[in-house]
């Protein structure tokens, strides 16, 4: 009887795969029956695996080949689903703690490399002049064209004090730029704040990690104390905030809402949808708010902006946000690896899907440079990513026609090695730009968008002072 159950070795993986699939079907009524087409394709997979083992020019590591197959399967779904090797799974868990060794940039997939979503302020990448929109085409001497996102993260991280070279393409530059960056311990203080004139607070959320809500509470307490007990308004700056933890986004939005829905999710699995309601208590005591967003505001940032906008709790100002409206669930696997799988889309309280559309500001204010010239830098958004999910419930993906990658034109700092540097450029210009940088906002001290936000809040105070009784109370509630 022993020989009856023997499976030829080349087909062992196929047999095990089919056994798992059959087992899943038996224990879960929600899993549809595996089709004949699926069996046929699994047979092809087994054949390819056998041929690689037998005929490839060099010996292959089975784990590497199988992990690569899984990575390819996830990559075919959407830009945010991915397979995490045990090493990458550990790296991912480090991300949410807000401290790690590396460069300090948020990245995403692009058609011909790795795209910078946003450099994190006060990190090595930020200091040498890397910009949102830069296309990383090489890490040291290795091309990133077919590199997995987590592999890129792993290569960029390392022992503090060690150096790495990144080659990037940037619009307006005729040749790639090379940045030599020394790794450091990245301690992301995710919230910065200061008191502006007229008792108006400014709070900037750099990203949503485990520190964010506690730091927001600290910020509001400190600002109210310095304002003599109560703030008269607040600017919440979410520009270039790439997102992060969902629970932190919910808590930040809840900090300014007394009641109502914050965000809800919808996916394929019945009964797995989630919704998050705000709890009573507005930490700002209903003082007026302006939320600043731009194309670098993604995911958790969009949840906060969308919730405050839908509840008319804040005026959203700036430019359209990134448009990442999907939820990724992290699923640990038996060998220490993990699966980052897009399982749902999230919706604002009014039922808007942000996916590939973003948050449209109530008041559009373009980003102007110091001289008042409009910054026409093109910014990559979710809708530009190959294979992105469409908005709504259809879950359809788009595969855009191949086009030239667009990159951004930004001024680099003195540490940048640029083969196209203009020898006629005044030596002090980059240093002057650095001196003019605001260390809290991370922008020019003449930040046009911020000034317009402050003007709006000051105008509200003036208008309120000219109204009395019911009219003033009605204005305060709006």
Query: What CATH number did the domain enclosing 440 receive?
Result: 3.90.226.10
Q: Is residue 415 part of a domain?
A: no
Residue at a domain's end among 17, 38, 60: 60
Report pLDDT for 393. 52
Indicate whether 380 and 237 sit together in one domain. yes
Q: Is residue 280 part of a domain?
A: yes
Return the higher-pLDDT residue of 349 and 133: 349
Distance CA 475, CA 430 (A): 45
Distance CA 49, CA 66 (A): 8
The mean of the pLDDT values for the chain is: 80
Over residues 4-20, the mean pLDDT reads 41
The pLDDT tens digits for 348-371 are 999 999 999 999 999 999 988 544
pLDDT band at 77 (very low <50, low <70, confident <90, very high): very high
pTM for the predicted model, two decimal places: 0.69
Is pLDDT at 469 greater than 90 in this prediction?
Answer: no
Q: Is residue 42 part of a domain?
A: yes
Q: Is residue 131 part of a domain?
A: no
Return the higher-pLDDT residue of 149 and 100: 149
Return the higher-pLDDT residue of 253 and 109: 253
Least confident of 179-183, 256-260, 397-401: 397-401
Tallying the residues shown for the chain, one arrives at 478
Residue at a domain's end among 60, 85, 105: 60
Residue at a domain's end among 45, 60, 75: 60
Report pLDDT for 259. 94
Q: How many domains does the chain have?
A: 2
Is pLDDT at 418 greater than 50 in this prediction?
Answer: no
Is pLDDT at 399 greater than 90 in this prediction?
Answer: no
Q: Is residue 381 part of a domain?
A: yes
Residues of the chain with pLDDT > 90: what percent?
Answer: 52
Over residues 410-437, the mean pLDDT reads 37
Nearest-5° angle of CA 104, CA 105, CA 107? 150
Tell me which residues are annotated as active site: 299, 310, 324
Is pLDDT at 280 greater than 90 in this prediction?
Answer: yes
Q: Is residue 146 part of a domain?
A: no
Over residues 130-159, the mean pLDDT reads 90
Is pLDDT at 474 greater than 50 in this prediction?
Answer: yes
Is pLDDT at 235 greater than 50 in this prediction?
Answer: yes
Indicate whether 55 and 197 sit together in one domain. no
Report pLDDT for 439. 76
Q: Is residue 473 part of a domain?
A: yes
Indicate whether 200 and 53 sit together in one domain. no
Domain boundaries, position 45: 2-60
Report pLDDT for 470. 59
Q: Is residue 162 part of a domain?
A: no
Is pLDDT at 14 greater than 70 in this prediction?
Answer: no
């Amino acid at each position: 009887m022993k020989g009856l159950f023997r499976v030829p070795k080349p087909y062992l993986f196929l047999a095990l795969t089919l056994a798992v699939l059959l087992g899943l079907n038996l224990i879960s009524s929600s899993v549809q029956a595996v089709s004949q087409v699926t069996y046929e394709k699994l047979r092809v997979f087994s054949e390819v695996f056998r041929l690689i083992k037998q005929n490839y020019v060099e010996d292959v590591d089975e784990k590497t080949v199988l992990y690569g197959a899984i990575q390819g399967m996830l990559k075919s779904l959407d830009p945010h689903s991915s397979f995490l090797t045990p090493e990458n799974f550990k790296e991912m868990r480090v991300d949410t703690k807000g401290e790690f060794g590396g460069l300090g940039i948020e990245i995403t997939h692009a058609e011909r490399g790795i795209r910078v979503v946003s450099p994190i302020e006060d990190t090595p990448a930020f200091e040498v002049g890397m910009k949102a929109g830069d296309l990383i085409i090489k890490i040291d001497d290795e091309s990133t064209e077919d590199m997995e996102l987590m592999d890129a993260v792993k290569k960029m991280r390392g022992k503090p004090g060690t150096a790495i070279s990144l080659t990037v393409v940037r619009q307006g530059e005729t040749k790639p730029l090379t940045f030599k960056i020394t790794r450091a311990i990245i301690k992301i203080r995710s919230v910065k704040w200061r008191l502006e004139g007229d008792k108006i607070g400014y709070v900037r959320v750099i990203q949503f990690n485990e520190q964010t809500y506690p730091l927001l509470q600290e910020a509001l307490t400190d600002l109210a104390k310095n304002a003599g007990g109560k703030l008269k308004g607040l600017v919440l700056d979410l520009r270039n905030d790439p997102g992060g933890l969902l629970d932190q986004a919910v808590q930040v939005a809840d900090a300014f809402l007394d009641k109502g829905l914050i965000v809800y999710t919808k996916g394929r699995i019945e009964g797995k949808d989630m919704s998050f309601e705000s709890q009573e208590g507005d930490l700002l005591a209903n003082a007026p708010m302006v939320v600043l967003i731009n194309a670098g505001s993604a995911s958790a940032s969009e949840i906060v902006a969308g919730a405050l906008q839908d509840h008319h709790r804040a005026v959203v100002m700036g430019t359209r946000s990134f448009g990442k409206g999907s939820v990724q669930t992290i699923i640990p696997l038996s060998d220490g690896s993990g699966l980052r799988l897009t399982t749902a889309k999230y919706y604002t309280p009014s039922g808007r899907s942000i996916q590939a559309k973003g948050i449209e500001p109530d008041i559009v204010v373009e980003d102007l440079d110091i001289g008042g010239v409009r910054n026409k830098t093109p910014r990559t958004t979710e809708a530009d990513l190959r294979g992105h999910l469409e908005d709504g419930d259809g879950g359809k993906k788009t595969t855009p026609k191949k086009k030239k990658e667009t990159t951004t034109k930004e001024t680099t700092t003195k540490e940048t090695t640029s083969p196209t540097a203009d020898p006629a450029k005044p030596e002090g210009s980059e240093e002057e730009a650095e001196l003019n940088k605001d260390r809290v906002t991370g922008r020019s001290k003449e930040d046009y968008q911020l000034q317009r936000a402050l003007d709006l809040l000051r105008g509200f105070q003036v208008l309120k002072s000219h109204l009395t009784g019911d009219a003033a109370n009605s204005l305060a509630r709006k």
